[in-house]
Amino acid sequence: MSNQGRLPEIRKTVVLNAPIEKVWQAVATSEGIAAWWMPNTFEPVVGREFVLHTGHFGDSPCKVTEVDPPYRLRFDWDKDWSLTFELKQLEEGKTEFTLIHSGWDADKKTASGQPHSVIREIMNGGWEGIVKENLVQYVEA
């Protein structure tokens, strides 16, 4: 595949006032992910398939591809995307969290028939609130 249609990945980074173990519980457990993002059948086991219940968009098939507690989690989302959660311990009681949503291709359309370029902009805005508001409120509560 050429890089011709490659669109930049979405990256969202936030510093959380919480220890890395607490952030890991929020981003690498089914209950945690459901609390700040969406309901799911996730288990932190490499190779495990799971579903994201995306409301009116239906269920999205996913597959865990990397689990490195408490620093890194990665999974494939639907047929084109990959999500990576990276955690970095800062000074005592603070954790840097980065979400990376990759797999964007200007030449591709999503399952719903929308061009990646359009959906990427929508998701970029959506992740902004999900990571910098929802996740922060959940972890720091």
pLDDT in tens, 59-114: 999 999 999 999 999 999 998 999 999 999 999 899 999 999 999 999 999 878 89
Q: Which two tokens stand for residue 60?
A: 């999205």
> Does 2 score more than 70 pLDDT?
no
pLDDT of 116-134, one tens digit each?
Answer: 999 999 999 999 999 999 9
Round to whole Å and give the CA distance between 139 and 136: 5
The predicted pLDDT at position 57 comes to: 80
User: Closest Cα to residue 29, out of 40, 13, 18, 14?
Assistant: 40
Residue 16: is its pLDDT beyond 70?
yes
Is residue 111 within 8 A of residue 79, CB to CB? The reply is yes
DSSP string covering the chain, please? --STTB-PPEEEEEEESS-HHHHHHHHSSHHHHHHHT--B---S-TT-EEEEE-GGG-EEEEEEEEEETTTEEEEEETTTEEEEEEEEE-STT-EEEEEEEE--BTT-B-TTS-BHHHHHHHHHHHHHHIIIIIIHHHHH-
> Which one, of 55, 57, 30, 60, lies nearest residue 45 by Cα?
30
Q: pLDDT digit string (tens) for 109-120?
A: 987 889 999 999
For 22-61, the pLDDT digits (tens) are: 999 999 999 999 999 999 999 999 999 999 998 888 899 9
What pLDDT, on the 0 to 100 scale, is given for residue 1? 45
- The answer for residues whose C-beta is within 8 angstroms of residue 75's C-beta and 6 or more apart is 42, 50, 62, 63, 64, 65, 66, 82, 83
